[in-house]
Chains A and B, each alone.
Chain A
């Protein structure tokens, strides 16, 4: 316990090789995030996990913890930026929560609530995106994809496949399926694959499971994302 960092005044131990978010999670400190999942290599793209390390903005999910770091995490300034980033993600896609199967189980929605987001702030893109319902068991609604690449990483790193990829540059980027037709049915995705279940939003859904858990009994209907994330991602503290 000799090596420590300080987050919002709290002294937190870390081991060499840990990122800031790993050390924080282990110590029961929640740093808002979307593209980070401790099971996979970091991607560092959503930028929600931005914290101030000795005065400089860094992504907690990629930045290595190191001695002497004084970090601020929950501040008005950082949460304001996080809220705006979340609003950006909302307006880029088409997220009509009330009519979405994922509502109440969705990390994007839960983060938005957590940050106190009450409107979209920015004008909507209203982009025309497709739905791929070709697969017998799994569907993709591209309207809800936030390009976190968790499905891409899960397929490669957990399932030993390579079902998903991101193509296109800048605002033109899209999630694509690596299959001859580009359709999910022609890929080797299986309903039991990790990639089919990892999506933090309602972009990848399992067919014939809709509304099995009624609204009102869903994950974030009862708990905030900070406690849910810490419990799921391996908080080792007992409070």
Chain B
């Protein structure tokens, strides 16, 4: 019987050498005449341990990491194929505290299965949600999603069930499901990890969405910077078609759902749902005004569900175990779990899926292990480049949409980027304005001109020139952007800028 060895195909692991390690293991096994079966799995999300190699043993999977090609021979010598002792031995994967302390619902299978194998997916509880959905009425599917309390994980936290209900109740011959896989936020990678590590959960979620609202065509709008995800998604889609989980008469149900991947062109603003649809229609990625909401008049003017990858990938577990099951996790109006992405100056960067309610401090220290440099963490940006900077005094805020809104911050897509005391928040504020200049679609006045002027004013402020004049000017610009912008690009850029200014005024003062 051959032993199964897992080496992640996740692009972060690959960038750390996972492909070379996989090759080296295969060669070494051949050299020693040992028969092994190498499976390229998703990443478990403990990036400081990548490439993390796992071996299936009687007691469960044993992990080794971070493995370099030069470690491979010694791993064989230590009999790692039977979980042997080695300096890189991390013990049973499931017992690693970072993983064990998580509540993985959406990420339940990531790192465990062969991402593109339908058999493996089904063997690990896959397609149970769809099976239930096929036995429910459309309204009941939507009701489960509504009952679950799931809110848009793309960042705006709009209730997914209400959105689906609008599409369900808008009559139309043609409707669409769009998965927003533009994942533009810096420091975020949960969408990518799902698409590379368990693409079938996304495919299942989209299929359920299609059946729920009566849409027969789905598109995954994937950012161009994710070539690995593209390959894996396409392979998984082909396998799902072959197994009759996509296409016509799905599993003999007479339901139809087609799915294809479309690539973006590298613009952050094309992650905004209306610009995304313009782009899908082959036009320039300009923001449309809302209403009309995409749920009523979206792609090609048809009712369209636009949901983030994580929102859609959370649907199968909800339909499998029921809305109440999912709802039992979380706090307040934030139900279920949020896959957090720890990045920046942290010892243990990676993916942490937790029920809402843990505090930022717990995440930063219990999981993140504090700063990588060992210096105190001074500021944390939560929710991507349009999110606020939080000072240490706010680290006890629970991860909850409303608690964050109350301190003028956002949870967004769950990106958490930490900075130690060497950070200059004035520089960061300047960068936020620069980002907006670069990424503005240019349609509306406040965003287009406000950011350009804002960048220049920040340049003056960083140089400590005319602060008495420039700081009020910066606030006035931010006001106009907040109040007048067409979309959250211009409308939220003031979040990082003003939070930096308000919480870290010392960085904005003269020398």
List residues of A whose CB falls within 8 A of some B CB: 42, 44-48, 50, 57, 59, 62-64, 81, 84-85, 88-89, 91-92, 121-123, 125, 147, 168-173
Contact = CB atoms under 8 A, between A and B. Distances in A.
A62 B440 contact: no
B251 interface: no
A84 B480 contact: yes
Interface stretch (B126-134, B163-171, B417-425, B481-489): B481-489
B442 A84 contact: no
A44 B453 CA distance: 22
B444 interface: yes
Contact of B450 (A44, A62, A88): A88
B448 A170 contact: yes
Contact of B483 (A57, A62, A123): A57
A45 B450 CA distance: 14
A170 B437 contact: yes
B446 A170 contact: no
A194 to B, nearest CB: 23
A62 B486 CA distance: 11
A42 B289 contact: yes
17 contacts: A45-B444, A47-B444, A47-B445, A48-B445, A62-B291, A64-B291, A88-B446, A88-B449, A88-B480, A92-B448, A122-B449, A122-B473, A123-B453, A169-B285, A170-B438, A170-B452, A171-B451
Contacts of A50: 483-484
Contact of A47 (B291, B438, B440, B485): B485
Contacts of B446: 47, 85, 88
B321 interface: no
B287 to A, nearest CB: 9
A171 B445 contact: no
Given A84-B479, A89-B449, 15 more contacts: A44-B486, A46-B444, A47-B485, A50-B484, A62-B291, A85-B484, A122-B473, A125-B452, A147-B442, A170-B440, A171-B437, A171-B442, A171-B451, A171-B452, A173-B442
Given A63-B291, A89-B449, A170 B480 contact: no
A171 B449 contact: yes
Interface residues of B, number: 31
Given A47-B445, A169-B442, A171-B442, A81 B480 contact: yes
Contact of B445 (A42, A85, A168): A85
Nearest to B449: A88
B267 interface: yes
A147 B441 CA distance: 13
B289 A88 contact: no
B101 interface: no
Nearest to B443: A45
Contact of A170 (B291, B439, B453): B439
B456 interface: yes
A61 to B, nearest CB: 9
B476 interface: yes
A135 B310 CA distance: 54
Nearest to A57: B483
Contacts of B453: 88, 91, 122-123
A18 B479 CA distance: 29
Nearest to A83: B480
A169 B289 contact: no
B479 A92 contact: no
Contacts of A47: 444-446, 484-486
B176 to A, nearest CB: 23
A123 B456 contact: yes
A162 B508 CA distance: 49
Contacts of A88: 445-446, 449-450, 453, 480
A154 B400 CA distance: 48
Contacts of A64: 291
A177 to B, nearest CB: 17
A172 B439 CA distance: 11
A45 B483 contact: no
Contacts of A168: 442
A174 B453 CA distance: 18
